[in-house]
Amino acid sequence: MGPQPLGVHPILVCTDVVEQALNDALGADPAFMRADEKAEALRRLSRLGDQVTALRLRVMTGAGELAEATADHTVATWLACETRTDPRAQSGDLALARALERRWTRLAAAVADGSVNLAQARVIVQALEDLPENDVGREVMETAEEALVGYAGTYGPRELRRLGRRILEVAAPDACEEAEGKSLEREERRAAGATSLSMHRLGDGTTRVAGRLPDAVADRLRTYLEAYTSPRHRGIGDGDSVPPRRRLGEAFGAFLEAVDPARMPLHGGDATTVLVTIDVETLQSRLAGAGLVGEEPISAAQARRLACTAEIIPVVLGGKSDVLDLGRSRRLFSPAQRKAMAVRDRRCRAEGCAIPAAWCEAHHATNPWSRGGRTDLADGVLFCSWHHRRAHDPGYDTRRLCDGDHRFHRRT
């Protein structure tokens, strides 16, 4: 960087150097870069952008006097006014900066050196602050922080959010089941209390229902839902104490549970079905525990309720067995095999793809049926339609990774 001017803070020297370098690079045309140079530039610019933002957050935490001088609520509102940006976004950045500085120092160091990006950091902070610290103790919180920072080297924000909700299995395996179950039950109670749905006719032929629907469609939906909000369906003593919006929201949930999957559109060859994954001991016990719907955790109490609902399939429950290995007897995977793959794969198994299993298609992963392959569960994998086409494209090589994902690479 060269010698620093006397009396100038290193952060201001850094901003001068970065600003000058950016001005020098703005005239360069990236169209003349090689593909490997573009890839390197995108990776490094993304990392540098996060590091610059992390430095801004550090400055924000120590700049409270700026708000005092202008009577702003916080430095976030002052900065939003100075830079003509969204005050809510700046307030969110300030909250993240304070959390990193005051509580999550290991994560703060990882953000500063660029090994954790800001999107990952936001997810990790939220996951850590959702943990019941009073129940598990500070040592477990530190273990959870260390584990999530480590996972950030492999997983993006979406995967980290799911890992964060189950991080107690790593940080406190002996106490995680009960703690997680209680946390999920609290979350479900909050969600039930916040449930609402309203319809507002706009007078232009449409009705706003969170989004907007044609009036005829909205009228039909309201008719269906009001069948569930009828007084004869309410609990004794409820009367009119439940707000109409909440009653309508609860009715919408009941309506969805009553829909006949046999009359729904097909996703990748199978009717719409909800699969609940939970071990049988947790399902049968009355203790707190957790299961999964897709990749989202639910409480054991919720899983027991779903197990009693028509067309909700608890994966662990008994019943008529389905043959999952069909050999050469048929070319296409059966609905039973697709359900098993949905439980196992949960999403498109192309590396980095998050398309859910319900939207995916079953693919013969090792050996195509046309070349003598078997239609067996072990040889099946779920791909979204985009990656399914790539899997059959001779212009791409496909390699199975150790975690079960598949990596595509264009042949040269």
pLDDT tens column, 43-59? 999 988 888 888 998 89
- pLDDT at res. 202: 82
Query: Does pLDDT of 148 surpass 90?
Result: yes
Taking only the tens place, the pLDDT of each residue in 225-260 is: 777 665 444 443 444 566 777 777 777 777 776 776
Q: Distance (Å, rounded) from C-alpha 285 to C-alpha 173? A: 19
Number of domains in the chain: 4
Domain that holds residue 66: 10-177
pLDDT of residue 123: 94
Same domain, 79 and 37: yes
- 135 and 70 co-located in one domain: yes
**Using the 8-state DSSP alphabet, how is residue 3 labeled?**
P
- Are 192 and 155 in a shared domain? no
| Same domain membership, residue 39 and residue 163 | yes
For residue 272, the model assigns a pLDDT of 47
Judged against a pLDDT cut of 50, whether residue 319 lies above it is answered with no
DSSP assignment, residue 235? P
How far, CA to CA in Å, does 268 sit from each of 261, 281, 296?
14, 32, 21
Question: Would the pLDDT of 111 be above 50?
Answer: yes
Please give the mean pLDDT across all residues of the chain.
Answer: 76
Would you call 321 helix, strand, or coil by DSSP?
coil
159 and 191 fall within a common domain: no
| φ, ψ at 268 (rounded to 5°) | 60, 25
Residue 315 pLDDT: 52
pLDDT of residue 7: 73
278 within domain boundaries: yes
User: Are residues 38 and 60 located together in one domain of the fold?
Assistant: yes
Is residue 341 in a domain?
yes
Of the listed ranges 193-197, 216-220, 306-310, 405-409, the one predicted with least confidence = 306-310
86 and 227 in a common domain = no
User: From CA 217, how far away is CA 207, in angstroms rounded?
Assistant: 9
Residue, of 270 and 75, whose pLDDT is higher: 75
Give the residue ranges of DSSP H helices in 291-384. Answer: 300-307, 335-345
Nearest to 400 by CA among 365, 355, 373: 365
Q: Does residue 212 form part of some domain?
A: yes
| Nearest by Cα to 290 from 390, 399, 167 | 167
Return the bridge partners of 361, or none.
383
What is the rounded end-to-end Cα distance, in angstroms, of the chain? 41
- Residue reference for tokens 């201001």: 12
Best CA proximity match to 179, nearest among 197, 192, 191, 166: 166
Q: Angle at CA 56, nearest 5°, toward 50 and 62?
A: 145
Whole-angstrom distance, CA of residue 19 vs CA of residue 23? 6
Q: Give domain status of residue 157, yes or no.
A: yes
My answer on whether 56 and 135 are in the same domain is: yes
Cα-atom radius of gyration of the chain, to the nearest Å?
Answer: 27
Handedness of CA 284, 287, 291, 293 (dihedral sign): positive
Do 302 and 378 fall within a single domain?
Answer: no
> Considering the entire predicted model, what is its pTM?
0.56
Nearest to 365 by CA among 302, 407, 306, 318: 407
Q: Which of 102-106, 130-134, 158-162, 326-330 has the lowest mean pLDDT?
A: 326-330
Residue 319 domain-assigned (yes or no):
no
Residues 40-59, buried b or exposed e (16+ Cβ, 10 A)? eeeeeeeeeebbebbbebbe
Residues 99 and 182 reside in one and the same domain: no
Q: Is residue 218 part of a domain?
A: yes
The answer to whether residue 302 is domain-embedded is: yes
Residue 261 placed within a domain: no
* 147/32 same-domain check: yes
On whether both 96 and 234 belong to a single domain, the answer is no
Give the whole-angstrom CA distance, residue 191 versus residue 194: 5
- 228 with 255: CB under 8 angstroms? yes
